[in-house]
Amino acid sequence: MTPPTFKCGKCGADTLCEPKEGPAVCPNCCEDHDYVYHRGEGRMCAHCSAEPPVDYYNYDYDEER
């Protein structure tokens, strides 16, 4: 069985999920990625289900000091 697909409300591309509020958006049209942890699936954007980029966790905490 194939997972259901939704259409992006901005460009019409297929999306993986439909957010709780507002129309679905694809990763290219998502204006603000909000990466949230989903148990068993890791971090994904709450709006478009995109995974964070590889360098998302590369934060140098020593730069702030």
pLDDT by residue (tens digit) across 28-46?
999 889 999 888 888 998 8
Query: How are beta strands 42-45 and 6-7 bridged, if at all?
Result: unpaired
Predicted TM-score (pTM) of this structure: 0.67
Taking alpha carbons only, the member of 40, 14, 36 closest to residue 27 is 14
User: Would you state the structure tokens that stand for residue 49, as one six-digit string?
Assistant: 């289900």
CB 52 within 8 A of CB 35: yes
Phi/psi for 54 (5° steps) reads: -60, -40
Q: What is the structure's pLDDT at 28?
A: 92
Q: Using the structure block, give the residue that is written with the tokens 């507002």.
A: 22
Is 35 strand, coil or helix? strand
